[in-house]
Structure 1
Amino acid sequence: MSGVEREPELNRLEVQLKIPRLVLQGNYEFKGRGIIVYTNSSGITHSDLQNVTINCSLKGFIEYRNNKRYLKLYEISPQIELDRWILWADNLYKENTDLTVVLNRVVNENWREMWNEIEPTILPSYSRSILKIINKLMLTVSYDDMFLLN
């Protein structure tokens, strides 16, 4: 972590995280058409990112409450690198569970191409989630209590 100084709004906070396994679950909606197959489905998706390195640039400002300073983050710019991504989407083809299994298998065999294709679209969603988690912590612990500042 860098950029943690007395006046954090004057600097960009930089954070690097190395996470062996990051498991996410969420809902999806999908409309797609292949050569002969069309789907309009929704369900639960399970995402398992392995050996993840996240580099984040954060911007924030100080809020004063109860005579203490609290950091409020408003922007995060993450870059994600990973060794493996395992994805499972339930009910891709509700009428044909075999087709759901096959499509999930194809996605996981070609995960790198799939990740490169969808990363720009899912990164904003991950960014919002990360920002929400960090700001929840920052609401309860003052900036001055988190770090020994000179």
Structure 2
Amino acid sequence: MKWDLQKNVGQTRIFGNLTFLCDYETDGRILLVPITGKGKLTVKMYNTDMLIKFKIKTFKDADGVEHLETYDFRPTQQYGNVKIHMSNILGGNALGDTINQVLNENWRDLMAEVGPPFIKAVANKVHDIVNKLYSGVPYDELMLP
């Protein structure tokens, strides 16, 4: 994490592997491929490089103690590789394996389309954690000389 307190801006860089596990239900198209089904979705993003830029301001809590707070954050990301698996796609028939294969072969196009909501979710979580830390630590203790 870096700050420029003169300009009231900062940034956080996260690098590594991210895995999303969730339930899905779909009746639509992804990359022009018709997809219907309901099941488990696993998205593994390898060598993900996410940069979250944000603005900083100070505020005083109810006791008059000054703290930092981040706002107006903007994430950007790059991926080394992405693997996707949708269980029970098309009711679990053999064509579902082919759809998963097509999704994995075209992960760059897919992530350009659906990646930003994933990264926004991660950025929201990071933002919440950082502000929770800042609200618990007074500014003068956080920025020791």
For the superposition of Structure 1 and Structure 2, which TM-score range results when normalised by the shorter chain? 0.7 to 0.9
Cα separation, partners in 2 of 1:52 and 1:68, compared to 1, 3 Å = same
SS at match of 2:3: coil
1:1-150 equivalences in 2 (<5 Å): 1-5=1-5, 10-17=7-14, 19-33=15-29, 39=36, 41-65=37-61, 66-93=63-90, 95-148=91-144, 150=145
Q: Distance in 2 between matches of 1:113 and 1:36?
A: 13
Matched AA of 1:22: L
For structure 1, which runs of at least 5 residues remain unmatched after alignment? none
Matched AA of 1:55: L
For structure 2, which runs of at least 5 residues remain unmatched after alignment? none
Q: Distance in 2 between matches of 1:112 and 1:88?
A: 15
- TM normalised by structure 1 equals 0.72
Q: CA deviation at 1:56?
A: 1.7
Contact 2:49 2:77 (8 Å CA) reproduced: yes
* 1:27-77 CA distance string (max 9 Å, x none): 4342215889562x4443222111121122112322223443222222210
Identity of matched residues, % = 23
How many aligned positions are there? 143
